[in-house]
Structure 1
């Protein structure tokens, strides 16, 4: 019996030369959608026993422990991130620890595509597709939030100062990739609050 294999809709896609930032897909990102009550001490303890870290309870925050990251999505929902190779074992451990506790843990690794945008000017490029003010002091490393990006649903995670991961549903992967390629072209580069260079 052949084993299932994952093929990204962006397989083979490569960012061309002439971009003002770095764009690439992160194809090996595994994801678990976790639901439960943050007010349930048994739930929180069971998850910590598997992940090694407390679930974040503050809106739009995330936590990390080794190669595991947990993004807060809502008051009863989290997105657990790790490598695809660890997802089966991690999911089994979570379900075992949560047995008998009101909760839900589902592998959603194939649901979304992760695009990383990195480099000076990344915030300005992202702001071409969203109404979020990414230049404000709110968007520090670790911040995550749902957003509308280029008129589609997306999830933004601030990895570091000028490194961002955008999560989009796989059916919109090519659209989001093409939008970023267009807005990240060097001729489309903008400098906020300053004189713009004349087009060549």
Structure 2
């Protein structure tokens, strides 16, 4: 069996913001009735985090729980823990209508950090990235240039970006171009 690696195997770029492939992240898509006690309990047990509200993400260390749509959550856990987390979700929701799927290897995760991180994302997506409009604990699922992506801001001001693995190199190059020195537009200054 081959050893798993992230989409771009740790690639990074330093411009007026730093862009880096964060490596392997465990990701579980959980679909079902988010108002049901079973889904809430299973998602909370898998991550140790409270259920997020609409367009919110809860964060703690390597774990995150993100609202993706009215019937979908994305649970982020350590990569090595995904199978046991899904087994626990399956056990907790046996007989219920739900879906829990390992999407870890189908996604790529990038981190954009530094004082220009918001500007990088603002250049690529139709989201108001001002601190007043988009703060810690908020998530957007939108387009980044021509591809779907989701992103949120961590407590330290860095932005986590998730996209499909098949477009990882394209997204990394978009982020690099937007973070290149000399391309600042000071949109958020």
Query: Counterpart in 2 of 1:67?
Result: 62
* Equivalent in 40, 43, 46 of residue 44 of structure 1: 40
Is structure 2 residue 168 aligned with structure 1 residue 173?
Answer: yes
Structure 2 regions of 5+ residues with no counterpart? Answer: none
Query: Counterpart in 2 of 1:101?
Result: 96
1:58-88 superposed Cα distances (whole Å, 9 cap, x missing partner): 2111123553210001111000001101111
Q: How does 1:128-143 map to 2 (within 5 A)?
A: 128-135=123-130, 137-143=132-138
Query: Counterpart in 1 of 2:7?
Result: 9
Is structure 2 residue 76 aligned with structure 1 residue 78?
Answer: no
* Equivalent in 23, 30, 34 of residue 19 of structure 2: 23
Which has more radius of gyration? 1
Q: Across the two proteins, how many residue pairs are aligned to each other?
A: 189
Structure 1 regions of 5+ residues with no counterpart? Answer: 195-200
Whole-Å Cα distance in 2 between the matches of residues 166 and 126 of structure 1? 9
Whole-Å Cα distance in 1 between the matches of residues 112 and 61 of structure 2? 22
Q: Which moved more, 1:108-117 or 1:158-167?
A: 158-167
Query: Counterpart in 2 of 1:198?
Result: none
Contact 2:29 2:101 in 1 (8 A): yes
Alpha-carbon RMSD across the aligned residues, in angstroms, is 2.0
1:85-143 superposed Cα distances (whole Å, 9 cap, x missing partner): 11111111111111111111000001110010001021112111112110151211111
1:40-65 superposed Cα distances (whole Å, 9 cap, x missing partner): 22332344344433322x21111235
Whole-Å Cα distance in 1 between the matches of residues 6 and 45 of structure 2? 32
Whole-Å Cα distance in 1 between the matches of residues 175 and 59 of structure 2? 27
SS at match of 2:105: coil
Contact 2:130 2:188 in 1 (8 A): no
* Equivalent in 89, 92, 97 of residue 87 of structure 2: 92
Whole-Å Cα distance in 1 between the matches of residues 112 and 84 of structure 2? 30
State the TM-score, normalized to the length of structure 1: 0.86
* Equivalent in 169, 174, 182 of residue 187 of structure 1: 182
Residues 11 and 55 of structure 1: CA distance in aligned 2, closer, same or farther (over 3 Å)? same
